[in-house]
Structures are given as structure tokens and as C-alpha cells.
Structure 1
Amino acid sequence: MIALLAGLVGLLLGAFGVLAFRLSERQRRHQIEVAEPTIREGAAEVLSVVGRAYVIVDVIDGVVRASPGAYAYGLVRGHTVVHKELLELTARVRRDGVIEERQLELLRGPFGQGTIIVQVRVAPIGDDYILLLADDRTEITRTEAMRNDFVANVSHELKTPVGALSLLAEAIEGAADDETAVRRFAQRMQKESSRLGALVQDVIELSRLQSADVVQTGTAVDLNPVVAEAVDRNRLTADSKDIEIVVGGSIEEKVYGDPDLLMTALRNLIDNAIRYAPEHSKVGVGMRMREGLATISVTDQGPGITAEEQDRIFERFYRVDAARSRQTGGTGLGLSIVKHIISQHGGEVSVWSQPGQGSTFTVRLPEMDQAEQDAEAGAPPAEPNKKGANGAREQGVTA
């Protein structure tokens, strides 16, 4: 009898335990369902077509939902909003209930390498959630900044020779009876007008490059006559400084592009070498094919360029030595034109230099493959070869 009672008690205890477990599970599921964020029906579909990255956060700034773009921009990591600037915006919107919009420059990546500029719009959704919409404005903002800098730089550069011409004209008028002074001022005017003309020509060239479409208008180009013409156009300047231009090598394969633009780029490179080379020296121009790349190197015996300045010499209006550039008549646009043209042709331009050891500028352009040459012979121009432009630096002809 006692054993029977013990068995019944054990059975009741077991049943009670199972019932308690089920009640606990049901309660836990209910709590999970309550805690699970609920977003209005259709909201996700709407957000997916707005064309902007989005993040939805809850009352404690936990990420409820985020688009792939938000992760790609580095705004969200895991279930956390990365940047404190965004969290400050969400806190303000949650407190005031007013939509806010800001343009922010935020660190990008876990190590803070690089930045991204985003236009952020923050708005409340119901009582529990905050929506962040983000649009990447990095490229647009940087392009606008470059345009503004360019306009400012052009204005400054034009002001110098124009002001000089005005002052020299006044000086000539005041020294009309002094023939020696008039001749001296007239020579200065001629120099400043030449500098002004070169600057205007370079600005026009840059403007023309912006609208050039090498893909649509290009053709098969033999670089040997292009290099020969670029050298010929610099003969007069070289002779005035008793500089010998030494040309060596040849390029057997053709490249796809615009021969006039390529000639302009190479002419500017050679002109730059002549300007900075000392009198009675040599400028070397070397050509060769290497690993599917047409390589042209221009070497001078000038003062050289420090490693710190080599990263900036292709910027518009940047001069390594501003005083010397004024003496040589440089505009600060030549190398930027070179880089722009070579980039349009799918190539690259690089520099090797050390102070006191001269400089070597190397242009690499991808050769046309046979299919492109066949299409060029019997059909409208095809797209240029997309081969990479990675090769070892060529020294060219030793100057």
C-alpha cells in the first residue's frame, strides 16, 4: 500500500513537472514574440526601392533591420550602429520627434582608414523605432571640391600674369623717353604674355579632355610616329638650352586610342623634362614592348623629386619648386594633363626620382589584341583593350 501511494505521488510530481515545463516554454515563447520587433507591413518593401541605404533602430539603438548598403558603407557592424554621430542624431530625433537631415563625413572601416561622406535623413517610425536613410555623396562632394579648387586656382594663376602685364604697360608709358627701360619692360611683357598664353592653352586642353571619349572615337595607333612628332615639337625648346633629345627603341604593336591626345601627353612629358634639365645635358626617350604593354620612358638629368612630392606632382597646379616654375614658364598643368590622357587610354603613368639623380617618367599603355585590330579594320571602333597596366619600371634611354 505504501509503495502504491509512493508511485502515485511520483506520477503526480512527474505530471506537474511536465506541465510546469510546458507552461514555462509557452511563457518564454510569448516573451520572445513580444520582444521581436514589429515593423509595419509593407515598410521593408518600400525601403528596398528608395535607392538609399537604411537602418532601423529600436529604443536602445539596437539595429532592428539594415540594408546591405548600410553594411557596405560601414554604418552598421553586427547589430550595432558604428558611428557616434549617427547615434547622436537618433537620440535627438527620439527626444524631439522632429526629422533631421545632415551631411556627415564618417570614418570607414574597422581601422578608420578612409572616410565616406553621407547625406543622412533621420525620422521616427511610430513610437518605438528610428529610421536612418543614408546616401553616399563621397564622389559627388569630392568632384565638386576639385571643381571649386580648379576654378580658384585658375583665377589665381591668371591674375599673376595679367597683373604683371598691366604694371609693365604702366611702366613703359612712364619710361617712354628711356629706350633701354622700354626694351627691358617689353621683354618682360613678352615673357608674361607667353606664360599667359601657355596657361590659357592648358586650361583649354583640360576642358577638351573632359569631353573626349576615347572609347567611341579611338583608333589603332602606331606609337612610333606619335613619339617622333612629340619629340619634334620640343626641338626648339631643347636647342635653346643646348639639350640633346636621345630616342631609342621601338614599339611594334599598336594601341587603341586618340593619336593627337597621346602626342599631347608625350609632348608634355618631354617638355617637362627639358624645362627641369640643366643646360648642355640630355633627355632620353625610350620605347619598348613588355608583357603586353607599350612602355615609353622619359628620363632627365634634373634636380630630382623627393618621395613626399612624388605623390602630388600629378595634381593640377602643383609645383615642386614654384619659384623655378615661374622662371621656366611652367603652368603646373602639364603633368595633370598627362595623367588624364593616359588614364583615358586605360594606361598608367608613374615616376621614379631621387634628389640629385634626375627623374624618369614612364607611360604604359595596353596593346591592341588581334580581335580588336580585325574589328578596327572592318568595323566601327571597338572598346579598347582592358588589359592591366602593371609592369616593372623602365629606365628608357640613359640620358
Structure 2
Amino acid sequence: MDSGWLVLLSVAFGLLVGAGFMALLHAAERRGSNAVDVVNPAVPDGVEQVINALDSAGVVLDPSNNVVTASPGSIAFGLVAQQTLVHPELIALVDKVRSSGEPVTTTVELARGPFGDASIHFLVRVARLGSRYILLLAEDHSETYRLEDVRRDFIANISHELKTPIGAISLLSEALDPAADDPEQVRRFAKRLHTEAARLTRITQEIIELSRLQAADTLRSAELLNVDHLIASAMDQNHVQAELRGTTLVKGGAKHVEVYGDESLLVMAIHNLVGNAIQYSLENSRVGIGVRVEDGVVEIAVTDQGLGIASDDLDRVFERFFRVDQARSRNTGGTGLGLSIVKHIVENHGGDVRVWSQLGRGSTFTIRLPEATPVASASQGDSR
């Protein structure tokens, strides 16, 4: 009986030791699995799909700053190359977030690619992604900075443009009193006063007109207009200026073409182009106004035989107050707003304006507008 109990106790003890050993093995296995997860965890589910769907730049980095996944935008902007961040500024932000654990949002100006001087302004946000990874998001804000630069330039330019005639009027008015006994001097000063006042009025009117055009998204009232009539009106307004410079105005191309729009605005647009062509042409030269219709688009081209525009300036000629020849424009009374007004008038009519130019050969500005096509009536469309 005693020997039977001893056998049972031995078996029970063996089972207990075996169970304990298996429990230890399972515990060790779980700890090993957890250690592997800590050393080499996977990127959280769905993050890679979200990053790939971003239009902006998105990057996930591991502890060695290797790029685990990156959006197409981050590569297109030149932020990522060969699975690494390109810019030291971004690497410094990532390291800062990794050490502090706090997210960072800031603006950074970075070079676009390894060549050239072009740069991009980014709004960058860097934050932890889980316990191991870092998420970097960058959004291109270059357009915001560009618009701010345009606003500053506009204020600076308008201040300068207004200061010139206002200063001249002030000086001339002060000179009138001492010259009261000299009728010839008074007449000369009065003529200058009239010229400067007219220039100030013109600048003010063009600024008001440009502001009105920029505020209008669409035309409130449009009517059917004959392009021949629009061109004839614009040529008539520039007739005196053309005669003074010995410039011949020539019209050619398609006839009896029609567009929908505001007559006064379209005449102003063509007038500005013709006036510019005369102003920047050589004396005793020729300015041509041609009309063409193709695929439902009416093209009104104004061509001069002037000195032309440098290729670097072609993209800027429609900016407010930008003038290719600053000194010459000032002498001829130009404001630098004419082409900007043309651009906004044409865009408000659903068209666009283009420029071709070559130094020494002249320039061609082309207004492109939708052709007005007649709508058939129900009776005309009924074949019964």
C-alpha cells in the first residue's frame, strides 16, 4: 500500500514539474514575440494606403531615418531620393520630434531639386507615428507667398506711380505764384499741370477699372457683337496717336465674325493692345490687326514691328505695373496697367490672351474669345 502511494506521488510530481516547464516555455515564447514586435513592428494598418493617396508630400521614417513609405508628391517635390530625406532641414525636424516626442508645425523654404535657384515654401508638420516611426507631412504654400509678394509689389508700385504726378503738380503749383507776371511761364506751367493731372486721372481710372474687373466673375449682361465694329472703334481711338508717330494701322483677316460680350470692355481691350503696339513700335512703321476663326475660337491678333520683348519678360508682361522699358513708358505716360486690364477683360469673357515676341522682330498679342454661334429655332430644327 505504501509503495502504491509512492508511485502516485512520483507521477503527480512529474506531471507538476512538466506543466511548470511548459508554462515557462510559453511565457518565454510570448516574451520573445513581444521583443520581436518592439524591434521590428509593422507600420500601422492603413497608413501606407493613406500616404499613397496624398496629393501633397507625406513620408514615414524609421528610427534610422530611412524612408519606409512616401507619397508620390514627396518624390515629385524632390523631398525624397533613394529612400532618404534629401534636405537637412527636414531631417533636423524629424530628429527633434523623435527626441522630444512633441509634434512640430513650421514653415520651411527648400530648394526644388539639386540644380537651379527655384525654391518651394512648405508648411511642414512632423509627429510620432506609434512608438517607433515618424510621420512627416509637407504642403506646398508657394502660391500664398507669391500672392503676398504681388500684393507688396502692387502697393509699392502704386505708391511710386501716384507720387510722380502728385509731386509734379505740387511743384508746378508752387511755381505759378512767382511767375504770375510772366504770361508765357504761366501758360507753360499750366500746360504741364494739365498733363500731370490727366496722367493722375488716367492712373486712378485704370486702377478702379482693374479692381472692378477682378471683382467680377462673369459678365452680368452680354450682347451679340460684331468683331469688325469692335476693331474699328479701337483703331479710331488710336488714330491720332498713330498719325503722330507715322504709324500705319492695317486690318485684315476674317469678316463679319461675332462674339458675345460687353462692347465697351472689349473695345478697351483691343484699344489697349493697339495703343501699346503703336507706343512700342519704331516710328513710321506698321501695326496690323488680324482676325481669324478656328474651331469656334475667334482670334484677334495685334502685331507690331517694334524691338520685341525678351523671353524672360514674356511671362510677366500681364502683371500690374510691369513694364518692359520703364524709362520709355514713363516718358510716354504709360501706367503699366494696360495689359493687366486686357487680361482680366478677356478672361471675364471666357477667353485668354497670348503673346509672341522676338527681340528685333516685334511682338504679337492675341485675344482669343468663343465665337458666337447662332442657336437654331425649333421651327428650323423641325424637319416635318
The sequence identity of aligned pairs, in percent, is 45
CA distance in 2, matches of 1:67, 1:249: 51
CA distance in 2, matches of 1:108, 1:305: 28
CA distance in 1, matches of 2:33, 2:221: 67
CA separation of 1:215/1:30 partners in 2, compared to 1, >3 Å: closer, same or farther? farther
Deviation string, structure 1 residues 34-63 (Cα, Å, up to 9, x no partner) = 554445678789989999753232211122
Deviation string, structure 1 residues 225-268 (Cα, Å, up to 9, x no partner) = 22122112222333444544222233454445544332221110
Unpaired runs of at least 5, structure 1: 1-27, 379-399
Task: Provide the residue aligned with 2:128 in structure 1.
Answer: 124
Do the aligned residues in 1 keep the contact of 2:62 with 2:68 (CA within 8 Å)?
A: yes
Question: In the alignment, residue 359 of structure 2 is paired with which amino acid?
Answer: Q
Asked if residue 352 in structure 1 is aligned to residue 352 in structure 2, the reply is: no
Task: Provide the residue aligned with 2:299 in structure 1.
Answer: 295
Secondary structure of the 1:330 match is coil
Question: In the alignment, residue 286 of structure 1 is paired with which amino acid?
Answer: G
CA separation of 1:100/1:310 partners in 2, compared to 1, >3 Å: closer, same or farther? same
CA separation of 1:320/1:110 partners in 2, compared to 1, >3 Å: closer, same or farther? closer
Question: In the alignment, residue 228 of structure 1 is paired with which amino acid?
Answer: A
Task: Provide the residue aligned with 1:365 in structure 2.
Answer: 368
Task: Provide the residue aligned with 1:266 in structure 2.
Answer: 270
CA separation of 1:221/1:36 partners in 2, compared to 1, >3 Å: closer, same or farther? farther
CA RMSD of aligned residues (A): 3.7
Give TM-score scaled by structure 2 length: 0.75
- The structure with the largest alpha-carbon Rg is 2
Count of residues in Structure 1 that have an aligned counterpart in Structure 2: 346
Secondary structure of the 2:177 match is helix
Q: Select which of 322, 328, 335 maps to 1:324.
A: 328
Do the aligned residues in 2 keep the contact of 1:214 with 1:258 (CA within 8 Å)?
A: no
Asked if residue 76 in structure 1 is aligned to residue 80 in structure 2, the reply is: yes
Deviation at 1:188, TM superposition (A): 1.4
Deviation at 1:118, TM superposition (A): 1.2
Deviation at 1:210, TM superposition (A): 0.8
Asked if residue 374 in structure 1 is aligned to residue 372 in structure 2, the reply is: no
CA separation of 1:235/1:82 partners in 2, compared to 1, >3 Å: closer, same or farther? same
Secondary structure of the 2:375 match is helix
Task: Provide the residue aligned with 2:155 in structure 1.
Answer: 151
Task: Provide the residue aligned with 1:170 in structure 2.
Answer: 174
Do the aligned residues in 2 keep the contact of 1:253 with 1:367 (CA within 8 Å)?
A: no
Give TM-score scaled by structure 1 length: 0.73
Residue pairs, 1:194-205, within 5 angstroms:
194-205=198-209
Deviation at 1:295, TM superposition (A): 2.5
CA distance in 2, matches of 1:50, 1:353: 42
Deviation at 1:85, TM superposition (A): 1.9
Deviation at 1:271, TM superposition (A): 0.9
